[in-house]
Amino acid sequence: MTLKHNAYLFDATRCIDCRACMISCSVENNIEMDKTRIWVAGVGLQGEYPELQRSTMVYHCMHCLHPDCMSACPVGAYTKAEDGPVTYNPDLCIGCRYCMNACPFGVPHFDYDKGLVEGAFIDKCTFCPQRIYNGQKPACVGTCPTDALEYGERDELIAKAHERIAAHPDRYINHVYGEFENGGTSYLILSHVPFSELGLPELPEEPVNEVSEKVMEMTIPFALSWGAVLTAVTVGVAAYDKKKKAAKEKEAEVEK
């Protein structure tokens, strides 16, 4: 019963910074005018005329295989679906913004401009469930004019990415970002410039939540044993105290 694990593949060599993905995302998901779930970043123009180069990257949620937002959220507002999407449930959110702290990519965005009445929530890419579960591609992928964004099964996309690198080793950096980073992500990136120039953080292969999850596993056993130790000490000290008092009283009686 292995489900198809959906993912995105982004090819930086194909991105022309047209931002159609941003528009289609905002339209599809009814995002407010001054907000966005997708953004574009890069280091700007490089090189000297006439050999100018400009590379950009399209950002949205990486849909990690071991999401840090999900690990951090105290009330479990995040879920990782078996088929890929990391989704956020505003009905549970308490607005603590720990997910924003946890996410190494800076993906969850918070409504800093909303008061109590409107309600301040987190906003992030949802993987367009209304589209992908109806046989369509996510809005950003569907609208991309240069096929810089692709959608498909994760394993197939990884194979495709490596094929593309093998076919044009001079064009690409020999690495698929997201294959292993942060425990693997469902947003894979191919690039011709160093990934740091696209604003991607350098991450280890273990997800960043690894240590904190290990510590959390030790919490209950530690609490129980610490409680047991304290109870033992309490009983012991009380018994010792009683003995000492009795001895003192005896002494006093003898002195009399």
Using an 8 Å Cβ cutoff, are 24 and 140 in contact? yes
Q: Restricting to residues 46-75, which ones interact with another protein according to CB under 8 A?
A: 56, 59, 68, 70-75
Write each residue from 115 to 134 as x if it is in contact with another protein (CB under 8 A), else as -, in one continuous string: xxx-xxx-------------
CB of 178 to another protein, least distance (A): 15
- Told to check if 106 binds another protein by CB under 8 A, we report yes
Q: Measure CA 119 to chain center.
A: 23
- Told to check if 41 binds another protein by CB under 8 A, we report yes
In this chain, which of 23, 29, 98, 153 binds another protein, going by CB under 8 A? Answer: 98
- Name the region of 92 (left: φ>0; alpha: ψ -120 to 50; beta: rest): alpha
> Quick one: 3 or 92, whose CB is closer to another protein?
92
- Told to check if 93 binds another protein by CB under 8 A, we report yes
Q: Which residue has the tokens 């910074």?
A: 17
- Told to check if 2 binds another protein by CB under 8 A, we report no
C-alpha atoms less than 13 angstroms from C-alpha of 217 in its C-beta half-sphere: 6
- Told to check if 109 binds another protein by CB under 8 A, we report yes
In this chain, which of 3, 16, 216, 246 binds another protein, going by CB under 8 A? Answer: 216
- Told to check if 219 binds another protein by CB under 8 A, we report yes
Using an 8 Å Cβ cutoff, are 160 and 171 in contact? no
Using an 8 Å Cβ cutoff, are 187 and 178 in contact? yes
- Told to check if 180 binds another protein by CB under 8 A, we report no
Local structure of 188: helix, strand or coil: strand
- Total residues interacting with another protein, rule: CB under 8 A: 66
- Told to check if 247 binds another protein by CB under 8 A, we report no
> Quick one: 145 or 236, whose CB is closer to another protein?
236
CA–CA distance, 175 with 191 (Å, rounded to integer): 8
Q: What angle do CA 159, 25, 13 make, to 5 degrees?
A: 40
Among 127-135, 141-149, 186-194, 217-225, the segment contacting another protein (CB under 8 A):
217-225
DSSP conformation letters of 122-159:
EE-----HHHHTTT---HHHHH-TTS-EEEEEHHHHHH
CA–CA distance, 67 with 99 (Å, rounded to integer): 10
Interface contacts to another protein, rule CB under 8 A: 36, 39-44, 56, 59, 68, 70-76, 92-98, 100-102, 104, 106, 109-117, 119-121, 197, 199, 201-204, 208-209, 211-213, 215-216, 219, 222-223, 226-227, 230-231, 233-234, 237-238, 241
